[in-house]
Amino acid sequence: MTDSSSNPSFDRSGQILRALVAQYIRDGQPVGSRTLARASGLNLSPATIRNVMADLEEFGFVAAPHTSAGRVPTAKGYRFFVDTLVKLQPPAETELSRLQSQLAGDGAGDAKSVAGAASAALSALTHMAGLVTLPRQAQLTLRQLEFLPLSNNRVLAILVINDQEVQNRVLHMERGYSESELRRAANYLNEKFIGQDIREVRRRVLEELQAMRESMNQLMVDAIAVAERALDLGGERSEFVLSGETRLMEFDELSDVEKLRQLFEAFGAQREILNLLDRSIAADGVQIFIGEESGYRILDDCSLVTAPYRVHDQIVGVLGVIGPTRMAYERVIPIVDITARLLGAALNPNQ
């Protein structure tokens, strides 16, 4: 089955597997040989189909639930179906027009509003959960840096980035700093690093901390200590906008209360989902994680279909659909791909 050139029944087995997956996605019930005899379009007896299904089960593409004579696809079966057998169905013209108008309608809003519109559109079109990471800025130029002392060894860092964005960060330091110490530290850092990318500034600050720790004067020690915290980009990772997560309750395989609770907790914490999306941001086109392929047990019964989106030909984020492994891949894959292209265009003011 895995090598069509050496398996003369590959076409027949493939057609039966395609029919089985399609039927199971449609009905959510184990598929029997008589049903497949009608659905496959092949002039085969139920007995012959049972033999083929036994072969598919031996290869690990289908499994028999313990109380049923029918078969259901496994994660391996879905993977083979998606990679080899699926016949993609682009959205209808009416759906495409509605998607374009939704994104265009929010084109004048901020990036979060446009991402929210894309997330809601994905959920509405697929009847599953839609998620979109907020766009990352390709360049984060440091324009000004100021520090103000707060109580309890805290410092307020004020960063001006890209001429217009102002970020305020409260830093928890090992000791208290006076206003004059912080002013000298800010003057030193502004003189040395203004106009550079904030990521490069942090890298250089850490290099100086390691290379010159012994020879630094107190001014540099103060400046480096505060700058290291102020420029920590650990919190810069994109958050995502999620829509339609309650739609997942409509699927029997995800309706277990404890399973839903854990899944919604993962959505709320975002960490695992963002780790998964990070694996997609450098991908060329649509990525599909089926069941345990995600590496997160809470997603073992789910599939995630993702695609990166671009602004000015730079990948700035990822969007996708999360739902049960029993999702209509032939519809979802083109919807995710097209939405990624349209979102990039909506965020690109020059298009």
Mean pLDDT of 271-294: 82
Q: Tell me the two tokens of residue 145.
A: 């840096």
Question: Please, what is the Cα angle at 267 between 265 and 273, to 5 degrees?
Answer: 120
Q: Are residues 73 and 14 in the same domain?
A: yes
pLDDT of residue 123 exceeding 80: yes
Q: Tell me the two tokens of residue 119.
A: 């997330």
β-strand partners of 314: 311
Strongest mean pLDDT among 81-85, 156-160, 175-179 = 81-85
Q: Are residues 203 and 172 in the same domain?
A: yes
Whole-number pLDDT of residue 234? 42
Instruction: Write the pLDDT tens digit of every residue in 41-98.
Output: 778 888 888 899 999 999 999 998 876 678 999 999 999 999 998 999 999 999 998 8
Q: Are residues 172 and 73 in the same domain?
A: no
Domain boundary among 195, 215, 236: 236
Q: Are residues 254 and 123 in the same domain?
A: yes
Mean pLDDT of 276-289: 82
Instruction: Write the pLDDT tens digit of every residue in 29-51.
Output: 899 888 888 877 778 888 888 89
Can you give the residue range of the structural domain that contains 209?
142-236
**Mean of the per-residue pLDDT values of the chain:** 82
Whole-number pLDDT of residue 8? 35
Whole-number pLDDT of residue 5? 40
Q: Are residues 314 and 263 in the same domain?
A: yes
Q: Are residues 318 and 263 in the same domain?
A: yes
Number of domains within the chain: 3
Query: What gap in Å lies between CA 54 and CA 32, rounded to an integer?
Result: 12
Q: Burial-class residue 56 by CB neighbours within 10 Å (0-12, 13-18, 19+).
A: buried
Whole-number pLDDT of residue 6? 38
Instruction: Write the pLDDT tens digit of every residue in 216-259.
Output: 556 556 666 677 667 664 444 457 888 888 888 888 888 788 88
Whole-number pLDDT of residue 282? 67
- For 270: left if phi > 0, alpha if psi spans -120 to 50, otherwise beta; the answer is left
